[in-house]
């Protein structure tokens, strides 16, 4: 039966390049390479069920189902009598290949369903005997908050923002007790506020058993030019949560596969209300976890962090290229660099000022010392977390400041903070330890205010001492900043 799996891979290689990007985007469609499919199938635990009820939603040409069935045919831990394979596929062209591939297996009852998995599964109110196994590479596409998909999902208690998380949540909901779900999905669900309801949904209904991370962003779906960082997860419906196996490989050859086991408390921190999912890539704790001096919440420090409140396209009529009478500084990430604050910037693409009036006043902060962190970095940049100090002297006598939406702003109840505290906080955030800690659980290039809020920090007193030390130095190297973190005491 290996020839069926090989045929599915040949079809994928032929179909993927011929499918235009607009079609892929419309369906969120990225087909699974055979090497990834076989690895995913290998993650299911051995089973002696008489009847396996397999779910493959968004099945494409059937690569995942074929990999699963090939493992069964090889008697590699699966000892099923028969398999009932339910595969959903919305694309008629792919569905024809899917039917041909599944028809090649004996003792398999294929049930190929033409249509939209979300619409059909929710319309049935998740009724049925429950699937014993689910294997999926769901589509990746945002769901509008008022769309038919969103309303259908809400009808069965699922609240989520992307097709991929919707498919996984539905697969968990349709699984039988003890059912195993293996999925390859973007890593973005692991953190950020938008995926909090999805994290709650799956963690309340299933145990997280396995996570696999690719070190290279671009290798898992290289034929489709996918740069989203992907992760493979295995969930067990109704399972009792225990340690989690984490594997890593550079790419989809799995040639350098490394395996570690971690207590669940290192994956989802017990005191984290957001339930961020961390993916530790080594058994050792990172520098922040080990530091006894980094134990304070941001609230303990007496600070808050917010996304910059000025959304420029909503206040377009208030924006000015350069400062003039009646305006105050408007700050973008481009105004900050390693040497400090540069404002205004002549000839810049972005405006330097915003008119201060009754309409804009509520979006402005009093001039003072703040710490800002860029919300976005490019995939190629060495650092994810880049912090800068807002020096009030850079803006003359400006009474207020506007912070644009691409900045995260640390503040003291919407006001500035002591100078030393701002400098100490920026120094801490610019340590290699913070950047590495952040990358460990953040699979995209965005730094959300919620991510910064849930981190641990040195105490206010220690941050002030850090700032006082930093202000005495003309310039600090990365090595000096990192070495200073190692000297902190609680």
Span 283-339, pLDDT tens digits: 777 777 778 889 999 999 999 999 999 999 999 999 999 999 999 999 999 999 877
For the chain, where do the domains classified as CATH 3.90.220.20 start and end?
298-486
Rama region for 28: left / alpha / beta (φ>0; ψ in -120 to 50; rest): left
Q: What is the CATH number assigned to the segment(s) 2-284?
A: 3.40.50.150
- Tell me if 168 sits within 8 A of 201, measured CB to CB: no
Domain 298-486 is found in CATH 3.90.220.20: yes
Say how far apart CA 351 and CA 410 lie, in whole Å: 22
The DSSP letter of residue 47 is B
Say how far apart CA 171 and CA 168 lie, in whole Å: 5
Among 5-9, 174-178, 364-368, 431-435, which stretch is predicted with the lowest mean pLDDT? Answer: 5-9
pLDDT in tens, 389-402: 999 999 999 999 99
Residue at token pair 């045919």: 73
Q: Which residues of 375-391 are buried (b: 16+ CB within 10 A; e: fewer)?
A: bebeeeeeebbbbbbbb
Residue 126 pLDDT > 80, yes or no? Answer: no
The stretches of 206-286 forming alpha helices (DSSP H) are 264-267
Instruction: For residue 454, give both structure tokens.
Output: 């849930």
| pLDDT of amino acid 29 | 56
Give residue 30's pLDDT band: very low, low, confident or very high (50, 70, 90): low
327-331, strands of its sheet edge to edge: 319-320, 353-355, 327-331, 400-403, 364-366
For the chain, where do the domains classified as CATH 3.40.50.150 start and end?
2-284
Say how far apart CA 243 and CA 264 lie, in whole Å: 5
Cβ contacts of 82 within 8 Å, gap of 6 or more: 50, 51, 52, 107, 108, 109
């Amino acid at each position: 039966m290996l020839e069926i799996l090989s045929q599915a891979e040949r079809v994928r290689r032929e179909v993927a390049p011929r499918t235009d990007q607009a079609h892929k985007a419309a369906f969120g469609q990225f087909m699974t390479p055979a090497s990834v499919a076989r690895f995913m199938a290998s993650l299911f635990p051995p089973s002696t069920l008489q009847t396996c009820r397999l779910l493959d939603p968004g099945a494409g040409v059937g690569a995942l189902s074929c990999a699963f069935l090939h493992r069964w045919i090889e008697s590699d831990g699966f000892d099923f009598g028969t398999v009932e394979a339910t595969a959903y596929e919305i694309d008629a062209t792919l569905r024809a290949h899917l039917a041909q591939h599944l028809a090649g297996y004996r003792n398999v009852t294929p049930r190929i369903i033409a249509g939209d998995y979300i619409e059909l599964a929710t319309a049935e109110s998740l009724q049925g005997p429950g699937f014993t196994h689910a294997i999926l590479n769901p589509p990746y596409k945002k769901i509008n908050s008022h769309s038919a998909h969103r309303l259908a999902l809400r009808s069965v208690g699922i609240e989520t923002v992307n097709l991929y998380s919707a498919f996984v949540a539905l697969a968990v909901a349709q699984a039988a007790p003890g059912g195993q779900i293996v999925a390859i999905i973007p890593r973005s669900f692991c953190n950020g506020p938008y995926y909090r309801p999805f994290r709650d949904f799956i963690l309340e209904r299933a145990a997280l058993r396995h996570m696999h991370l690719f070190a290279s962003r671009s290798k898992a779906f290289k034929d489709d030019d996918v740069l989203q960082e992907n992760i493979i997860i295995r969930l067990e419906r109704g399972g009792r949560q225990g340690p989690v196996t984490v594997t890593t490989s550079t790419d989809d050859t799995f040639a350098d596969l490394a395996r570690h086991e971690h207590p669940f408390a290192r994956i989802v921190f017990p005191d984290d209300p957001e339930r961020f999912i961390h993916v530790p890539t080594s058994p050792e704790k990172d520098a922040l976890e080990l530091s006894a001096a980094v134990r304070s919440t941001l609230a303990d420090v007496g600070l808050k962090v917010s996304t910059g409140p000025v959304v420029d396209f909503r206040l377009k009529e208030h924006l000015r290229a350069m400062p003039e009478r009646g305006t105050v500084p408007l700050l973008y990430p481009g105004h900050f660099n390693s040497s400090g604050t540069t404002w205004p910037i002549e000839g810049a693409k972005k405006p330097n000022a915003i008119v201060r009036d009754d309409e804009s006043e509520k979006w402005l902060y009093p001039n003072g010392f703040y710490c800002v962190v860029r919300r976005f970095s490019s995939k190629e940049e060495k650092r994810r977390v880049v912090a800068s100090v807002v020096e009030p002297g850079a803006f003359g006598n400006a009474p207020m400041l506007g912070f644009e939406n691409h900045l995260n702003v640390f503040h003291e109840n919407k006001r500035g903070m002591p100078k030393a505290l701002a400098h100490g906080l920026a120094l801490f955030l610019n340590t290699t330890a913070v950047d590495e800690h952040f990358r460990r659980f953040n699979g995209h290039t965005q730094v959300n205010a919620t991510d910064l809020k849930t981190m641990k920090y040195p105490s206010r007193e220690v941050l002030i001492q850090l700032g006082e030390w930093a202000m005495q130095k003309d310039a600090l190297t990365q090595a000096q900043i990192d070495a200073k973190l190692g000297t902190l005491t609680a």
